[in-house]
Amino acid sequence: MAKTQSYKDTAYEYLKERIDNNILLPDTHLKEVEIANKLGMSRTPVRRAMAQLEEEGYVKIEPYKGAVVIKSSLTSTAIVERLQFVELMAMHLFQHMQNKDIHVDKEELHEIVEEMERGRESEDDATYYAAEFKLFRFLAFYHSNSYFRQIGLSTIATLHELYLKNVKADQRNFTKERNETSDVYPEFIRAIEEADYPNARKQVRIWMNQLILNQINS
């Protein structure tokens, strides 16, 4: 009995970690046989692990279909790692723009910033994050490497999805982030407008460090 329980715990930790880190995405079907073979155990402990994950809201067990991932979340450590990755990519992007002497389309930039301000002032989190993602996409396309753009925007999209869930759970999360970035964004936008990319890198570091501290202290 103890051995079976140990196998169950192993299967549980394996699946939970992969769900928490978005390796197993929502709507992914979990196949008992494949997981059991992967972990070198029988299907019984895997089935018990899935039952526990269902109780905790990570998966839904459907008749004749098995378990399906329904929860998308990231551990605090995983969020910090992604924020650090976004910072590194932003540093590279602005260095690239500086080296190439790139000047952005100011009219399009202003339109995006206005959308963000509308979301910020009305506390409409969906509008705010949609505009913020549009800002990142606008900047990313000044980099010629399509893979760079794809990985960077995919990482940011995952973070935005998580932040939206946190806001829906507690609106104070959005208010806190809005207040903490209120001093960073104007200077960040001004730096981009003026092609002052060293300052843009500085503002990104300030902004990301604040978000990382929030995760560490939460």
Three-state secondary-structure class, residue 136:
helix
User: In this structure, is residue 20 part of a structural domain?
Assistant: yes
Same domain, yes or no, for 35 and 81?
no
Any bridge partners for residue 61, and if so which?
A: 67
What pLDDT digit, counting tens, does each position of 20-65 carry?
A: 777 787 888 999 999 999 999 999 999 999 999 998 888 999 887 7
Same domain, yes or no, for 35 and 119?
no
- Give the up-direction half-sphere exposure of residue 2: CA atoms within 13 A in the CB hemisphere: 0
- How many independent structural domains does the chain possess? 2
Same domain, yes or no, for 115 and 210?
yes
Instruction: Scan for tokens 């396309």, then name that residue.
Output: 141
The CB density around residue 107, as the number of other CB atoms within 10 Å, is 7
Give residue 113's domain range: 76-217
φ/ψ of 62, rounded to 5, equals -105, 140
Same domain, yes or no, for 120 and 156?
yes
What pLDDT digit, counting tens, does each position of 109-146 carry?
A: 999 999 998 988 887 888 888 999 999 999 999 999 99
Overall average pLDDT of the 7-23 stretch: 87
User: In this structure, is residue 111 part of a structural domain?
Assistant: yes
Same domain, yes or no, for 106 and 206?
yes
Same domain, yes or no, for 100 and 192?
yes
- Give the up-direction half-sphere exposure of residue 27: CA atoms within 13 A in the CB hemisphere: 0
CA nearest to 51, candidates 1, 9, 6: 9
CATH of the domain at 101: 1.20.120
Domain termination site, one of 23, 42, 69: 69
What pLDDT digit, counting tens, does each position of 82-94 carry?
A: 899 999 999 999 9
